[in-house]
Structure 1
């Protein structure tokens, strides 16, 4: 049964990649990006446009259900001459469809030939020195979903889940970028103050509802991963106000111009 699930996921990713090869007339890509909350504004500045398609038209994908997430796949040629596929939306684990749809984009990119994956997200911050608008390089994660996209006896080394080489490249582009540990919760509810304190005790600096499961699938597929988090708010219990998705979206809009410039510079250097 587990092997069949694994085979079905691989087959669907291969089908999606074949569809995209035909649609874009592009045999392979070099890298892929997943743009999370606050990051989609930079999608049109990442390189020379080569085409686009609505994600829901691609096998295995569905229309994003979260406000602030786009629903397009863009193909561009970066300033460094790389061909990049840009996913402007993602499926979240809390949507209740299991892990396979969450990581389908990652597996499709790998099947299409990508060797590098850039994952971005909006998150809550635990470090008071990182106000909303701060971009943090991920050096590690803690997966608190209680789940994994890997099935069967597939033992993937996550010692360097987030590539030291890619983090060095990003740091050379912007030496002010701090590094931190991202904690993925299941969602969709925001974390309680007690859960945020727990995340800090465990070693977390950032909390959110994405990225870790995608990173696991990417490392299984042999992709190098660069993770970038936008702090959109102080995590629960660390500020006077309550949390809201509107606050997350506004923080992304406020940071939009800087994110677009930073992401274009990093992608051009990969």
Structure 2
């Protein structure tokens, strides 16, 4: 069956039926789903030994398959912290790979029908806020960002954002089309998208597990979604910063929209893997360029240029802190239930 011959609900039900038929007892009703972003697949290694079941996306009906390095493409089920049934999504399919918004967000609806009540999303993002360093972690939050410049002119634009979803505002939206009442209401609010209780526990856990001498910082801020796959131009980065964005990336927001439509609690993290370049390039007639050879000019234009390998490397170096933070936060939260 193809996307055109089955409804989204029917596709989701088929995927869930397959997983239910395969999963061992004790793992069939996960409470939490964790989406592992670029370079963060090690989060799935936090499950308890002996309580692990893996399924390639290719084996699950209708499940979208990633094509990007660093996204393995498998669901890992297991016990987190010895007693919390969890499912880890190791790699995600992106819109820029040619997937529709329905395909990109399909796993979230699968999690809903599996019985998940909390979704934790992680991603690699470029830092727009000059106070953010590579390796820092940002919680997505309903916080107002600071503008890059022209504060007085743009102050009227800097209302409180959880995220900036320009594609969604333009109509490229995961809830476009007939509403699926089995998942949620026609007009879901997003002003409460990022769970305050979960974020409170993240900060408490950070203070407990991260040594004071660690230079890595935990922020709360605004994530801007862009379609990709190109990294942003300097002008685009400045525009996003002026709008209040602290980081920019190519995932997560469509998944958050669908998760909230499904009534799931949401916690989302961005790992800052590169600093976006905000400074304009020199004009071609500037005096400082005169007398420089081609290699020197190339070095000027390429300063700060982002690359996918850089993203993966930053993910590797920060992985242990991220793993401890996510795992211990969830153990703290679910130990109360």
State whether TM-score is above 0.5. Answer: yes
Q: Aligned runs of 1:99-138 on 2, under 5 Å?
A: 99-138=101-140
Q: Tell me which structure has the larger Cα radius of gyration.
A: 2
List alignment gaps of at least 5 residues for structure 1. Answer: none
| Larger CA deviation: 66-75 vs 260-269 | 260-269
Q: Aligned runs of 1:52-67 on 2, under 5 Å?
A: 52-67=54-69
Partner of 1:240: 303
Could you tell me how far apart the structure 2 residues matched to 1:141 and 1:161 are?
9
Q: 3-state DSSP class of the match of 2:134?
A: coil
* Compared CA separation, residues 236 and 61, structure 1 to 2 (3 A): farther
| Match for residue 94 of structure 1 among 93, 96, 102 | 96
Q: Are residues 1:83 and 2:85 paired? A: yes
Q: Aligned runs of 1:1-270 on 2, under 5 Å?
A: 8-25=7-24, 26-48=27-49, 49-79=51-81, 81-139=83-141, 140-145=162-167, 146=170, 147-150=172-175, 151-152=177-178, 154-175=186-207, 177-237=218-278, 240-270=303-333
Deviations 1:206-241 (A, max 9, x none): 100001100000001110100010000001336932
Could you tell me how far apart the structure 1 residues matched to 2:268 and 2:230 are?
23
More strand, by proportion: 1
CA RMSD of aligned residues (A): 1.9
Q: TM-score, normalised by structure 2?
A: 0.75
Could you tell me how far apart the structure 2 residues matched to 1:266 and 1:96 are?
35
Q: 3-state DSSP class of the match of 1:133?
A: coil
Could you tell me how far apart the structure 1 residues matched to 2:110 and 2:99 are?
18
| Larger CA deviation: 132-141 vs 147-156 | 147-156
Deviations 1:175-216 (A, max 9, x none): 462101100001111111111111111111010000110000
Deviations 1:85-107 (A, max 9, x none): 10001110111221011001101
Contact 1:46/1:264 (CA < 8 Å) preserved in 2? no
Q: 3-state DSSP class of the match of 1:118?
A: strand
Q: How far off is 1:80 after superposition?
A: 6.4
Q: 3-state DSSP class of the match of 2:72?
A: coil
Deviations 1:235-268 (A, max 9, x none): 1336932111111111111212222222221232
Q: How far off is 1:133 after superposition?
A: 0.7
Could you tell me how far apart the structure 2 residues matched to 1:84 and 1:68 are?
21
Could you tell me how far apart the structure 2 residues matched to 1:128 and 1:135 are?
14
